[in-house]
Amino acid sequence: MVALSDFKKISDYEWEIPTTYRKDMKVPVRIFADRKLLEACLEDQSVTQAVNAATLPGLVGQVLVMPDMHQGYGFPIGGVAATRYPEGVISPGGIGYDINCGVRLLASSIPLEAVQERLDDLAIALDQACPSGVGTKGEHKLNENELDQVCRQGAKWLFKKGMATEEDIRRTEDQGCLDGADPGKVSPRAKQRGKEQLGTLGSGNHFLEVDVIDEVFDEDAAQAMGLTAGCLVVMIHCGSRGLGHQVCTDYVQELQGAVRKYGIPLPDRELVCAPLTSTEGQNYLAAMRCAANYAFANRQVLAHQVRGAFERVMRGRVNDRHLRMVYDIAHNIGKVETHLIEGERVKVCVHRKGATRAFGPGHPGVPEEYRAIGQPVLVGGSMGTASWVLIGTQTSMEKSFGSSCHGAGRVMSRSKSKHTVRGEELRDSLEKRGIRVRAGSMPGLAEEAPDAYKDVDQVVNAVHNAGISRKVARMQPVIVIKG
Amino acid sequence: MNRTKPSTGYREIHHTADIAIQVWADNLPNLFTEAARGMYAIMGVASEKKPGKGKTITFHAEDDVSLLVAFLNELLFEAEHHRTAFMDILVNISNGRLVATLNEGIVCKINREIKAVTYHHLNVVESQQGVEATIVFDV
């Protein structure tokens, strides 16, 4: 177990475990956190998992961990690891089963007080419009050819179908479509699972929230994103559904053979990987990109369905009912990017598992309208607590491969959470605070109780003070839809 | 009171974000059956027997861990996609080959989605009871 004394303090918000800690480490582990969050991380296996990740071949810089870190499987949640391209490896376990799980934010100019009495109807309409729960099927059943197009084109396929605007596409990470996706590398079983699930939320920690912006910290950035204090926004958190889970399952299994073939010693079999240039690595990359594109498309369909629900409920109440796209980001993904490392421009494969891309101002990967301020970073809170909009900074480009935190981060196990509070009790207490809750399962709701998570404000303060993101606006929930 | 641990069983153990179970049995085939029961319990699967419906599944793998992951992932897919859960699971394992004979049931309800069965620190080890394993599920 790692102890506080094993860390070298870099600053109040950066802590490092040097490679001398364990002889198989290829690079140090660097954690962005205040002392209290760091101490909390030592309660579970997350730091040991980061040390394990630091043994992968071809790593550059450090394995980075965000302040919302917690124990996962293989990599910790909140981990960022970059391997040199093309000499390094790619690890499906470093991306996770829910490939391109991510967050989309839509903004409105609807003041909360203008529609307060419509919120119950809005909660029902959103719940009906966005199917959630275990194995839920969506309205848009795809045939084989359509599924292949979704895998290749992502959200852009929905633009052709009239379910996305040009602005939606422009304001999605990588314009909602990763190049190099090859549906031929996706198994028939993964496709079978994907055909019926487009436009569904799923379950677990996935959610759809209507929030109100309660505080703006950076007026210029908020204005550029169309965020106004007191107005409603919608946050959609979900991923690639069964298709993505199956792609990761298939390749974690397949790559068990690859590590033997390429002689890669691993401290944990969930860290299986393959050289980026190998057939196995290339096949996984092509399949993972399909799943990522499916997830971009999934959030786009959900956004389309949310807009329909808003239109139906708000008609006659407010004139401007349009929900404008703010941004859509992935937080479980592997991307080939170029970063400046020790003064040298290096092409790397950045694994982000429970971490968000946070490109700084001027980066060509940021939409033109945001290029002066930096890329929006969307941080989902726990149910009943704040969510945040941040922006990427020059420091994130220099220190964290252009990455930041993705959420609050769990501190309590699901079983303990269920024993601490009953779902019905939790729903009632949230409703007393003016938060309408629609949940598929009461035990599932109890597992996601706010107390099961870290204080999201403390997490955001840590990345803000470390300089890898900057605060723009804070949002409080008024409607929560859970699977 | 002197309580003896049953020869086969499972129990949930601590994991911050996902779900982990420790499974034990007197032999390897029973460990697989018990792991399936544990997984269904985590999922909150409620099912009804389909009279006369049986199925045999076969896997090959390099080692017991890969066999166990493949077996559980198969059951996961069947539950989520075909709404089928299996009862009266009979497992045979020999030379890296698993043959499972299963009676099919119709899934009436699943309370929790499991995204995948992971390899995270998964080892099948000998124990006082026979064999045991700790399995982490991504939920």
SS3 A235: strand
Probe site for chain A from B118, B122, B135, B137 (most A CB atoms < 10 A): B118
The 8-class DSSP code of residue A251 comes to: H
DSSP for A300-344, please give it.
Answer: HHHHHHHHHHHHHHHTTT-S----EEEEEEESEEEEEEEEEETTE
Which pLDDT score is estimated for B4? 66
How does pLDDT run across A325-343, given as a tens digit for each residue? 999 999 999 999 999 998 8
Strand intervals (E) in A375-452? 376-379, 387-391, 403-404, 436-439
How many Å lie between the alpha carbon of A270 and the closest alpha carbon of chain B? 5
**Active site members of A:** 406
pTM (two decimals): 0.95
Residue pLDDT, tens place only, A12-37: 999 999 999 999 999 999 999 999 99
Nearest to A73 among B43, B44, B120 (CB): B120
Asked if B119 and A268 come within 8 Å (Cβ–Cβ), the reply is: yes
Cβ contacts (< 8 Å) between B62 and chain A: which residues? 256-257
Is some CB atom of chain A closer than 8 A to the CB atom of B46?
A: no
Query: Residue A70: which of B17, B115, B117 has the nearest Cβ?
Result: B17
Residue B1 has pLDDT above 60, yes or no: no
Q: What is the pLDDT, as a whole number, of residue A466?
A: 98
Backbone phi and psi for residue A450, each to the nearest 5 degrees, phi listed first: -55, -35
Residue B74 pLDDT exceeds 70: yes
Residue B2 has pLDDT above 70, yes or no: no
DSSP assigned state of A450: G
Cross-strand pairs, B57:
B100
**pLDDT at A163 (0 to 100):** 97
pLDDT band at A7 (very low <50, low <70, confident <90, very high): very high
To the nearest whole Å, the CA of A71 is away from the closest chain B CA by 6
Provide CB contacts within 8 A for B132, sequence distance 6+: B22, B23, B24, B25, B31, B124, B125
Torsion of CA A367, A370, A373, A375, to 10 degrees: -50
Mean model confidence pLDDT for chain A = 95
Cβ proximity of A411 and B16 under 8 Å: yes
**Stretch A285-305: mean pLDDT, rounded?**
98
Q: Which residues of A touch B (CB under 8 A)?
A: 44, 46, 70-74, 77, 93, 96-98, 134-135, 189, 192-193, 202-204, 242, 245-246, 248-249, 252-253, 256-257, 268-270, 272, 410-416, 441, 443-444, 483
For the ranges A303-312, A414-423, B101-110, the one whose mean pLDDT is highest: A303-312
pLDDT of residue A456: 95
Buried b (16+ CB within 10 A) or exposed e, A341-371: eeeeeeebbbbbbbbbbbbbbebebbbeebb
**Does A160 have pLDDT greater than 50?**
yes
Please provide residue A377's backbone torsions phi and psi, each rounded to the nearest 5 degrees: -120, 125
Instruction: Examine the pLDDT at A389 and tell me if it is beyond 80.
Output: yes
Test mutation, B19, B60, B120, chain A, max A CBs within 10 A: B120
Q: What pLDDT score does B3 carry?
A: 58
Judge contact between B133 and B29, C-beta under 8 A.
no
Q: Which chain B residues are closer than 8 Å to A249 by Cβ? A: 73, 116-117
Q: Say what the ipTM of the complex is.
A: 0.90
B57 touches chain A (CB under 8 A): no
pLDDT tens-digit readout, B27-40: 999 999 999 999 99
Q: Is A145 exposed, middle or buried (0-12, 13-18, 19+ CB in 10 A)?
A: exposed
Question: Which pLDDT score is estimated for B49?
Answer: 82
Gap between the Cα atoms of A332 and A357, Å rounded = 10
Nearest by CB to A44, which of B16, B77, B119? B16
- Minimum-distance CB partner of B118 among A44, A73, A202: A73
Q: Which residues of B touch A204 (CB under 8 A)?
A: 112-113, 115, 139
Please give the radius of gyration of chain B, using alpha carbons only, rounded to the nearest integer: 15
Greatest Cα pair distance, chain B, in angstroms, is: 45
Residues B101-119, mean pLDDT to the nearest whole number: 90
